[in-house]
Structure 1
Amino acid sequence: METKTIEINKDLVTVLRILLSMIFIVASIMHTFKVEKVVDRINHARFSELGYLLGKPEISVIASGIAMFIAGIALLIGFNTKYAAIVLALILIPITITIQVGQMSTIGPLFKNVAIFGGLMFFALNNNFNNFKKTKA
């Protein structure tokens, strides 16, 4: 398979990385400090039983909050960007399926998560950012 190279503005990639990381850092605070509210959302979701697959949802909520914070900070500062993006994607998938799939009231957040997943895949699949050329905007 032939790989094509395109020029991307390095500054825009940095802005994308920072903006993408912020949603996870903010969400991690909710998952860590407002556990009851997140568990309540799980309990009222159409696929709420998925929130109980690993046991008490409180444990999963706190663990995902800690992981989102660590990976979000890593993405923010550009440290192990590929792996940070993969970790965040692996957290985003079950959250999206459990909370947003199957409910018309969450169709907007569902597609927001799909777009966020696309951003994470950009960083997971394009981890050679040192080779990006700084281009004039």
Structure 2
Amino acid sequence: MFKSIEARLAPGPRTSALVDPLFRLLTSLIFIIGGLGHFGQHRMMLDRMAESQWAATVRMIGDPSVLLWLSGIAFVAAGVTLALGFMTRASALILFATLVPVTIAVHLVPDPSHVGPLFKNIAILGALLLIWARGPGAFALDNRPTPRGGKK
């Protein structure tokens, strides 16, 4: 019975192809918007980082302001390339590698109000792993035909 229900819910090939760019776009939006926030709300984010139990560790890694700028640049740039399906696997890994320390520094705290944002980031990390493992899917710049001569 359950297999029958699942079979009836399976999308057709055209719908399946549309899911790929939508998944990339919807996943990338949080990075593009959030990364822009690293610039527009820089002071507020620095204040949050200073209140984190990980503030001393962050300062040992580098200047929190510089780290915030760098993570903002990574989020926006890799978010845009992820949405376009350009260098998709590299973009997913860059976003993953940038999101892990941000999640630890900002959301891995004893405050119960951070449980939702913590698990939102964990879910996003899962989405990035899926994109990395499956590749860009349909309607991606990575799928452009290779010009004659073998160079892109």
Tell me the TM-score normalised to structure 1 length: 0.84
Paired AA for residue 82 in structure 1: R
1:42 aligns with 2:49: yes
Paired AA for residue 119 in structure 2: F
1:94 aligns with 2:104: no
Q: Deviations over 1:54-111 (max 9, x none)?
A: 2210000001101111000001111011000000000100011111112222000000
How far is 1:128 from its partner?
5.9
Q: For residue 122 of structure 1, what is the aligned residue in structure 2?
A: 130
How far is 1:37 from its partner?
1.0
The runs of 5 or more residues in structure 1 that have no matched partner are: 1-6, 131-137
Higher relative contact order (CA 8 A, sep 6+): 1
The alignment's C-alpha RMSD in Å is 1.6
| Largest Rg, 1 or 2 | 2
Paired AA for residue 111 in structure 1: F
The runs of 5 or more residues in structure 2 that have no matched partner are: 1-10, 139-152
Tell me the TM-score normalised to structure 2 length: 0.76
* Counterparts of 2:71 and 2:60, CA distance in 1: 14
- Aligned to 1:53, the other structure's residue is in SS state helix
Aligned length: 124
* Counterparts of 1:67 and 1:42, CA distance in 2: 18
2:92 touches 2:132 (CA, 8 Å); kept in 1?
yes
Correspondent of 1:105 among 105, 108, 113: 113
Paired AA for residue 56 in structure 1: D
Q: What does 1:1-137 correspond to in 2, within 5 Å?
A: 9-103=16-110, 104-127=112-135, 129=137
- Aligned to 2:61, the other structure's residue is in SS state coil
Paired AA for residue 128 in structure 2: L
Deviant stretches of 4+, over 6 Å: none
- Identical pairs, percent: 31
* Counterparts of 2:74 and 2:114, CA distance in 1: 24
